[in-house]
Structure 1
Amino acid sequence: MNKLTILDCQILRFYLPENELRQKITEDVSLGAGKFDVVTIGILEVKNWVNYKWILSLKPYFDKMTANEKNAYDLEDILKPVRDGLSVNDELYALPFYAETSMIYFRNNKSKLTERS
């Protein structure tokens, strides 16, 4: 953990192995301990966190935005599969700070891979 002060706000940053970090965050949120003001969760946690009512829909926040703000923050810029993964019943509950995908390229005339029928 290290301390950082920005704009008179003290920020404590924790560096933990992924599995330990997820366990600590989930435990803190489930108990309502309030140790963390901001946490990051992955796409796999969103549906459970919604079911446990640990996070709220972002719809009211986007509904309050002005037309200029909505234009500047275009939700359509977020890839649909990412939006879908962060949504429950067509309501968005989290926003990505990054998204990634994997691809494989190969020359079909040099590969033994064949199309499955």
Structure 2
Amino acid sequence: MKRIFFFGLIISLFTLATSANAQTASADSLMAYSGSYTFASGSPIQKFTVTSDKGELFGEADSYGKNKLLKQPKADTYKSTSSYGSVITFTRDAATKSVTGFTMAIEGNELSAKKDKP
């Protein structure tokens, strides 16, 4: 009986540790997207700020308030919970794999932004 309890305890602790590591890895990977992005001159949006909090990603266009960004099946792609429902696909540098910008599909248009240097 003690042996069964011991193995159950070990399995429970392993499961808890694995899920905690998965959350940390997810939060760490979201940090790659975080930052400020600038659109080209004349764009209807000037700045877009991406932040992460408690394992979730948020985006804010100019100062219109932030909205949650929901992960989509396609790599580096998120959908905004804003009323516009824009889809954001982050772009990466081919050599370093760091996030360099994104394209935003919004109301039949596509806008591009470059990530600002920290």
TM-score band (shorter)? under 0.3
More helix by share: 1
Q: TM-score, normalised by structure 1?
A: 0.18
- Please report the TM-score for the alignment, with normalisation by the length of structure 2: 0.18
Task: Give the structure with the higher percent strand.
Answer: 2
